[in-house]
Every structure is written in structure tokens, then in C-alpha cells.
Structure 1
Amino acid sequence: MKSAKRDLLVLTKKVSINEKELQLEVEKLHDLLFHVESMDNFCIANEIIDLNKYKIIENPIKIRRLISSNKLQPFQFINNKN
């Protein structure tokens, strides 16, 4: 797995934590985020509102195709379903 370049703030209930425990915790978080932030999960959790055609696109394959293109057309919005 490729190392992600991100800033993480890790809060623990322990007063002191050694470097190995911290490194293990960060690796677990990277692994979890790697799977959660996939394009498949993104397409499932979002929809595209197309005001040009007055449609809401919920099909993950169509969402992937629209997002993979260079840019959305004017008045096409990505909306999170949550």
C-alpha cells in the first residue's frame, strides 16, 4: 500500500504512548482510510444533481464516469447523501 501524505491527529486515553504503539496506530488508520476513501465508496455515498436536465444521478457507474471526466458541466453538483 502506498503511504498517504496526510496529517493525522491521534488522541489516546493513555498519558504516555511509546513510538511503536503510535506507529502501529497510524498504520491502522492509514489502512482503514485507504479502504474507506475508495472511488467505489465515494460513488455510493454521493449523487450528482443535474439542473440542466432536472435529474438526480444515483447510479455509481454514471457518477464515476462523470467525475472521471475533466470537469462537470455548469449546474451539475456533487451532493453527499449523508
Structure 2
Amino acid sequence: MHDILDLDRRGLPGAFVATVEFEQAAEAQGNALGFHPFRLYVEHPIQDRTEDEMRAIADAAFPSVLESLVDVKPSG
């Protein structure tokens, strides 16, 4: 969270990605810092996942993370 806050202060976009196990801790830290960046929670645990399983988790999360980092303008 501190790293994303530092990026924000520099005018750079950031996003917080963690497993659902850390949802309450992230909320508490955000409250303490007065900072609530985009947060995305993925399934837990991830440490024993295969490469293919991790890729599937990342592929599912990527569009939301990307959208949070860029100013998406509709084409046309």
C-alpha cells in the first residue's frame, strides 16, 4: 500500500492486487493511510498453484487492473 501511495503522490497510477486473505488488512491499512487505491482480490491460496493456474488467475485479473491504470476512452 505504501508503494502505491508513493506512486500516487508522484502522479503515477498504481493498483493493489492481493488474495482475498488480505482484504481486511488492506482495508485497515487504507483507512490508516487515508488512501484507497484500486484493489483487486484474487482467490487464495496461490503459493501451490501450477503455472497454468497462475496464468489463468492473471489472465482473469488483467483487464480490471489495466482499466484501473489507464484512462480508457471509447472509440468512435
Q: Same fold (TM over 0.5)?
A: no
Which one has the largest radius of gyration? 1
TM-score by length of 1: 0.29
Q: Is the strand fraction higher in 1 or 2?
A: 1
TM-score by length of 2: 0.30
If asked which structure has higher relative contact order (CA below 8 Å, sep 6+), I would say: 2
Q: Is the helix fraction higher in 1 or 2?
A: 2
